[in-house]
Every structure is written in C-alpha cells, then in structure tokens.
C-alpha cells in the first residue's frame, strides 16, 4: 500500500490554489497512491469534498487536521470519520484569534465542493495558534475517536521538539 498522510488542500493558506479536492484525489490515483490524509490547518471544511473525490477515484481517505496548539506546536489529528473531523474543526475555528484575515498577505483559504467550485473563504487565519494547549488538543482528538501525532517532529519550528525541547513524559503519543 502506498500512502501520503500529510497533504494540505487549497484551504490551507500555505498550499497552492491548485490543491483542490478533485486534483488531490485524481493525482493520488494517477500516481498509484492507495490512501491519503488531507490535513488542513485547524479546519476540516474541505474533507466532505475530498471524500467524494476520493470515492470517485477509488482512493482511501483518512480524515485529518493539522492543529496548531497554543504553544505553536503542530499536531496531526487523524480521525475516524469526516464528521468527527468537522466537529474538531468547529472547536478549533472557535478557538482561533478573531482578527481580520488578509488574503493579500497570507494567501487564499478556499472551501470547495467535489467539482472544485469555491463555496467560501473562512474569515479567520487558519494557520494561527488556537487557544488549546497540547494536552487539550490531544484530549479533543482522542475524545472524537482519533489518534494524535506530533507533526514534522524534526522541523526547526512548530514541532514538539523545537518548541519544548523534549517530549513530555506525561503526554504519551502512540
């Protein structure tokens, strides 16, 4: 089985606008990838469209979110269903800072349908840190039946080791 479990769609401002739900699923199929996880920053709003596109192309989807904790640590939340991911995304969105989002500075954040039509652009910057700390974020993920994984652990910023300098013993990750 071939897979990629850390993909951002056009909903994440760090991703290209061409990373649409249909393009992600279609290119996964063309490249022989059997399963993908689309993990946008602090949101799951593109997962319903990604699920439909994956179903159409015969690619398995593992619903995911790349959450940004209050400490500025990125954590991947792998969830059992799109519905669970949407519930987590709603909590995360409500915990983002409420300041004006400027797409000219940060890039676009596109919510799309399965035909790659733009449905909306969220008003808060999705890459911001939430008010949830690492412990709360992990607990939220697990309460929804998910598995939490520190993202890009060896990265020089936004990783567990770069921010804290160690892995807390009282916070075991599978």
Q: What's this model's pTM, rounded to 2 decimal places?
A: 0.95
Query: What is the percentage of the chain residues whose pLDDT exceeds 70?
Result: 100
Question: Cβ distance 43 to 11 under 8 Å?
Answer: yes
For residue range 126-151, list pLDDT tens digits in order. Answer: 999 999 999 999 999 999 999 999 99
pLDDT, tens digit (0-9, with 9 covering 90-100), for 65-81:
999 999 999 999 999 99
Q: How many CA atoms lie within 13 A of 63 on its CB side?
A: 25
Contact 28, 59 (CB under 8 A): yes
Q: What percent of the chain lies above the pLDDT cut of 90?
A: 84
Is 174 a residue whose pLDDT tops 80? no
Q: Which of 31-35, 99-103, 108-112 has the lowest mean pLDDT?
A: 99-103
pLDDT number for residue 8: 98
pLDDT range class, residue 171, cuts 50, 70, 90: confident
In the DSSP assignment, the letter for residue 38 is E
């Amino acid at each position: 089985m071939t897979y990629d479990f850390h993909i951002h769609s056009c909903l994440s401002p760090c991703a290209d606008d061409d990373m649409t739900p249909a393009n992600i699923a279609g290119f996964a199929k063309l490249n022989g990838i059997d399963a993908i996880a689309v993990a946008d920053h602090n949101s799951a709003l593109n997962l319903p469209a990604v699920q439909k596109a994956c179903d159409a192309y015969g690619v398995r989807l593992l619903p995911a979110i790349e959450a940004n904790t209050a400490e500025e640590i990125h954590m991947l939340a792998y969830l059992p269903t799109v519905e669970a991911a949407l519930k987590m995304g709603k909590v995360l969105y409500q915990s983002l800072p409420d300041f004006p989002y400027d797409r000219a500075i940060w890039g676009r954040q596109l919510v799309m349908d399965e035909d790659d039509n733009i449905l909306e652009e969220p008003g808060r910057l999705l890459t911001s840190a939430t008010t949830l700390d690492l412990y709360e974020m992990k607990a939220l993920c697990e309460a929804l039946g998910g598995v939490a994984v520190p993202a890009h652990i060896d990265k020089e910023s936004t990783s567990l080791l770069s921010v804290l300098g160690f892995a807390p013993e009282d916070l075991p990750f599978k």
